[in-house]
């Protein structure tokens, strides 16, 4: 699945990659100043405000989703964390789903990123032998419809005892100045954590299980817009005229073509990359001429998608990924 990630955080990027998601990075250009009413409203409102501010900044800059089949994305932008040009062409392929996030620590008040070593020391010392909260706000937007969802997740983290020397050693070794709360739970500092009540990925800055749950309605909405449009484009190219195009919830079948010319897809194909969407569309359209998987059928598919055999392998791999990740 491709996602437009409104963040420069390597940790968020890696969390997505570890879950089989391919982030295309577009950094937000916003300050993180808080209006007085938001700053005084507590951590949940703060992280939701900042996440939405970041998401809307990118959404306004890149615009609505432009759907067109064929080669979409420069492969170099899939390979690592990068920044788009200052002016993003809306004709360039950008994924339909956009995500932004913000994470803060709350311990007797808001704790952000440390200014210097002294500030980091103060933060880490304040957690000693007590609990604090890590809050993440997330905004997800479906760029095909403008539908958005903003929510917050909280994890309570308890830490044990440690010395001032251990704090100083960690700060000088890991230099946690880019981290809210001055620590990364996945680093050596994690040995001081005695309990975690909630998602550990939230403490890392990106609560993927919660995000995935909120993404499903947006992915379904994107599928209902994109798949009929993509089918129409390919049908025109292939000189075919399908009837009703619908999107369902099937788990065992990617798509089907009825004898009357109706085509039905499962929304889960949107979890694959763009090439797999095109492959499924061409596959089902080819059944309008050959209602079987004969040699003529595969020749027709291959005439439009020369890499169709590779796509079939990727589709099988995607099914396994979806089952493992629990996209229900």
Active-site amino acid positions: 102
Long-range contacts of 228-232 (CB under 8 A, 24+ apart): 229/67, 230/67, 230/69, 230/277, 230/278, 230/281, 231/263, 231/281, 231/284, 231/285
Q: What are phi and psi of 41, to 5 degrees?
A: -95, -5
Partner residues linked to 148 by β-bridges? 141
Give the pairing of strands 263-266 and 245-248. parallel
Partner residues linked to 156 by β-bridges? 133, 197
Distance between CA atoms of residues 131 and 195, nearest Å: 9
DSSP H helix total and E strand total for the chain = 10, 10
Tokens of 217: 């309605």
Tokens of 183: 């620590």
Q: What helix, strand, coil percent values describe the chain, rounded to 5?
A: 45, 20, 35
Query: How many other C-beta atoms lie within 10 A of the C-beta of residue 156?
Result: 14
CB 288 within 8 A of CB 261: yes
Distances (CA, A) of 64 to 89, 91, 94, 98, 142: 12, 10, 10, 11, 9
DSSP character string of 138-178: EEEEETTT--EEEEEEEEEEEE----HHHHHHHHHHH--TT
CB 95 within 8 A of CB 24: yes
Distances (CA, A) of 179 to 79, 182, 282: 24, 5, 46
């Amino acid at each position: 699945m491709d996602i437009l990630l409104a963040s420069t955080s390597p940790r968020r990027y890696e969390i997505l990659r570890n879950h089989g998601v391919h982030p295309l990075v577009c950094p937000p250009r916003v300050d993180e100043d808080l209006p007085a009413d938001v700053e005084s409203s507590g951590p949940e409102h703060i992280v939701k405000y900042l996440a939405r501010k970041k998401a809307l900044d990118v959404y306004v800059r890149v615009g609505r989703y432009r759907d067109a089949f064929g080669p979409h994305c420069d492969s170099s932008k899939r390979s690592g964390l990068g920044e788009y040009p200052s002016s993003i062409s809306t004709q360039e392929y950008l994924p339909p789903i956009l995500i932004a996030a913000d994470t803060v620590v709350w311990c007797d008040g808001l704790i952000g990123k440390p200014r210097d070593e002294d500030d980091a020391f103060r933060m880490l010392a304040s957690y000693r032998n007590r609990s604090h909260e890590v809050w993440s706000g997330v905004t997800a937007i479906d760029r095909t419809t403008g539908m958005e969802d903003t929510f917050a997740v909280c994890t309570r983290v308890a830490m044990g005892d440690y010395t001032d020397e251990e704090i100083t050693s960690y700060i000088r070794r890991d230099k946690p100045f880019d981290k809210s709360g001055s620590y990364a739970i996945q680093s050596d500092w994690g040995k001081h954590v005695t309990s975690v009540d909630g998602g550990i990925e939230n403490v890392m800055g990106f609560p993927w299980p919660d995000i995935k749950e909120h993404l499903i309605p947006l992915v379904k909405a994107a599928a209902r817009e994109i798949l009929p449009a993509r089918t129409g484009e390919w049908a025109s190219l292939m000189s075919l005229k399908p009837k009703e195009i619908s999107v369902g919830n099937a788990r065992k079948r990617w798509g089907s073509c009825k004898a009357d010319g109706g085509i039905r897809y499962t929304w889960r194909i949107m979890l694959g990359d763009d090439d797999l969407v095109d492959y499924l569309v061409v596959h089902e359209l080819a059944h309008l001429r050959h209602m079987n998987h004969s040699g003529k059928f595969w020749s027709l598919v291959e005439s439009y998608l020369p890499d169709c055999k590779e796509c079939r392998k990727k589709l099988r791999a995607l099914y396994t990924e979806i089952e493992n990740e629990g996209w229900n």
